[in-house]
């Protein structure tokens, strides 16, 4: 098969706010090859990601992503890895290339799986697809009472675990303690409580460490992204101060080396990878293997559609001892409508990567039209990109 076309669909809700909610817009990728179609999703700002695919070449190491993708052979998994290596060389100075490639790479696994009638996790080398315990991924309430009510609601929906994140966490120590107490009360004594600080502490280890006592008392399992994604010394410094609470991070990694450094030098206990950022399924699988060998728990990072959720489950579907996974529960309508089918918890409250070919998700093409953002990129009087019409 030859890669014949790569199409990008920029979608957005009618109003996009400053809320830390990545499901307000989306960049969906469609790849065609050999009469087959695959779908992927970039977890990045849509417009610069599109531009990275079509941008004029600046020099030999700053070429558009399209130069390394269109016309390439796609017959097995090794071809996807080969294209990734080619792109890394041709576009090494085009930093947005990793985000653009992530959605394309995801779509290639989907397409190849459909062509071979195999789920992506099998193509990645797994023989089994183990169940995962989903944690409800939600935002902190504006008040501790709202956080309590959200925790009660998630427990009422059958979730054994919940992660609370972002503002107002970090505004004050007193407020943070109140939110932690409220979340624990709402989840009950046996609920798994997780916290995402959204990088609010920058590199301030002491400020983050002030929250550890309350986290220990409330039996928080992990404290996610207290610092910027590359602040390795800060991560290691907080790990040294913590007792039972593990430190987590990794969603900011846009290549596997960044994730491995967070494990080796940041000393995190949980590594969280977003397939829509790190370069797709294969580098995520390499990080999962790396983490497993070093006693670090691998987790997906997913806060958008079920297409992204399916992709994020594939790289660790076969790792039996890595049981917890992120599960978005408060999606914007755009993200909820993107796929016809959805990954739902079973009677045991667990989920699995789909066993269907590829990523196993059916795209709702009506959504591609309903939420479409019309885009045209022109350079020197020449149209380099215009939104797909079908």
Q: Residue 287: what pLDDT? A: 98
CA dihedral (156, 161, 166, 169) in degrees, to 10, reads: 90
Rounded to an integer, what distance in angstroms lies between the CA atom of residue 62 and that of residue 66? 12
Instruction: Give pLDDT, residue 22.
Output: 83
Domain architecture of the chain: domains with CATH: 3-118+364-386 (3.30.390.10), 123-337 (3.20.20.120)
- Per-residue tokens: 192: 């798994």
Look over the chain and give the mean of its residue pLDDT values, rounded to a whole number: 96
Q: What DSSP element (H or E) covers 176? A: helix 173-187
For residues 211 and 223, is the Cβ–Cβ distance under 8 A?
A: yes
Question: Cα(69)–Cα(250) distance, rounded to whole angstroms?
Answer: 27
pLDDT of residue 162: 96
Site of tokens 């932690």: 180
In whole angstroms, what is the distance from residue 302 CA to residue 338 CA?
15
User: What average pLDDT does range 383-390 have in this prediction?
Assistant: 94
Residue 139, exposed/middle/buried by CB under 10 A (0-12, 13-18, 19+)?
buried
Q: Could you tell me which residues come within 8 angstroms of residue 332 by beta carbon, excluding any fewer than 6 positions away? A: 13, 21, 23, 24
Bridge partners of 8?
Answer: 29
pLDDT at residue 71, as a whole number = 98
What would the mean pLDDT of 186-207 be, rounded to a whole number?
96
Does the structure show a pLDDT above 90 at 321?
yes
Token duo for residue 166: 């972002």
Expressed in percent and rounded to 5, the helix, strand and coil fractions of the chain are 40, 20, 40
223 phi and psi, to 5 degrees?
-115, 105
Q: What pLDDT is recorded for position 390?
A: 84
For a pLDDT cut of 70, what percent of the chain falls above it?
100
Q: Report residue 229: phi and psi, to 5°.
A: -60, -25
1 membership: H or E segment, kind and range: none
What is the pLDDT, as a whole number, of residue 298? 98
Global pTM reads 0.95
Residue 323 pLDDT grade (very low, low, confident, very high; cuts 50, 70, 90) = very high
180: Cβ–Cβ under 8 A, 6 or more apart, which residues? 193, 195, 211, 214, 215, 218, 220
Q: For residue range 244-294, what is the model confidence (pLDDT) as tens digits?
A: 999 999 999 999 999 999 999 999 999 999 999 999 999 999 999 999 999
Query: Can you give the pLDDT at residue 21?
Result: 79
Is the pLDDT at 243 greater than 90? The verdict is: yes
Cα 248–Cα 236–Cα 319 angle in degrees, nearest 5: 40
The confidence score (pLDDT) of residue 330 equals 82
Separation of first and last alpha carbons in the chain: 22
pLDDT in tens, 23-77: 889 999 999 999 999 999 999 999 999 999 999 999 999 999 999 999 999 999 9
Q: How far apart, in whole angstroms, are the C-alpha atoms of residue 367 and residue 335? A: 9
The residue among 21, 38, 19 whose CA lies nearest residue 30 is 38
Report pLDDT digits (tens) over 62-115: 999 999 999 999 999 999 999 999 999 999 999 999 999 999 999 999 999 999
Task: From 293, 226, 245, 206, select the one nearest 285 (Cα to Cα).
Answer: 293
The confidence score (pLDDT) of residue 23 equals 86
User: In the predicted model, what is the mean pLDDT of residues 114-134?
Assistant: 98
Q: For residue 20, is pLDDT > 90?
A: no
Instruction: Provide long-range contacts, Cβ within 8 A and 24+ apart, for 364-368.
Output: 364/337, 364/338, 364/339, 364/340, 366/337, 367/11, 367/334, 367/337, 367/338, 368/9, 368/11, 368/28
Q: Is the dihedral of CA 125, 128, 133, 138 positive or negative?
A: positive
Do strands 192-196 and 220-224 pair parallel, antiparallel, or not at all (unpaired)? Answer: parallel
d(CA 84, CA 71): 14
DSSP 295: T
pLDDT at 102: 98
Residue 338 has pLDDT above 90, yes or no: yes
Query: Residues 134-144: what's their mean pLDDT?
Result: 94
């Amino acid at each position: 098969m030859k890669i014949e076309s790569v199409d990008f669909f920029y979608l957005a809700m009618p109003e996009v706010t400053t809320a830390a909610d990545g499901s307000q817009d989306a960049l969906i990728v469609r790849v065609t090859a050999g009469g087959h179609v695959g779908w992927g999703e970039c977890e990045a700002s849509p417009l610069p990601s599109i531009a990275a695919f079509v941008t004029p070449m600046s020099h030999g190491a700053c070429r558009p992503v399209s130069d390394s993708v269109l016309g390439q052979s796609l017959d097995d998994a090794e071809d996807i890895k080969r294209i990734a290596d080619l792109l890394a060389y041709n576009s090494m100075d085009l930093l947005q290339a990793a985000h653009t490639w992530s959605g394309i790479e995801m779509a290639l696994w989907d397409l190849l799986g459909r062509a071979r009638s195999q789920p992506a996790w099998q193509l990645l080398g797994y023989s089994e697809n183990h169940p995962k315990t989903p944690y409800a991924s939600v935002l902190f309430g504006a008040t501790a009472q709202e956080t309590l009510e959200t925790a009660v609601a998630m427990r009422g929906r059958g979730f054994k675990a919940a992660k609370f994140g972002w503002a107002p966490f970090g505004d004050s120590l007193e407020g943070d303690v109140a939110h932690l107490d409220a979340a624990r009360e709402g989840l009950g004594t046996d609920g798994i409580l997780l916290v995402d600080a959204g990088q609010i502490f920058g590199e301030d280890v002491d400020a983050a460490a002030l929250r550890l006592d309350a986290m220990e008392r409330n039996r928080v399992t992990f404290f996610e992204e207290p610092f910027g994604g590359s602040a390795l010394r800060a991560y290691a410094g907080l790990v040294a101060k913590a007792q039972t609470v593990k430190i987590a991070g990794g969603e900011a990694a846009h290549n596997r080396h960044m994730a491995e450094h967070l494990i080796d030098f940041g000393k995190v206990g949980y590594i969280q990878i977003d397939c829509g950022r790190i370069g797709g399924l294969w580098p995520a699988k390499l990080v999962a293997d790396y983490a497993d060998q070093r006693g670090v728990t691998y987790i997906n990072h997913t806060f958008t559609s079920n297409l992204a959720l399916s992709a994020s489950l594939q790289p660790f579907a076969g790792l039996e001892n890595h049981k917890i996974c992120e599960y978005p529960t408060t999606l914007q309508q755009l993200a909820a409508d993107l796929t016809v089918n959805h990954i739902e918890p079973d009677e045991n409250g667990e989920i699995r990567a789909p066993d269907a070919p590829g990523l196993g998700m059916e795209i709702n093409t009506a959504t591609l039209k309903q939420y479409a953002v019309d885009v045209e990129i022109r350079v020197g009087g020449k149209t380099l990109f215009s939104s797909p019409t079908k």
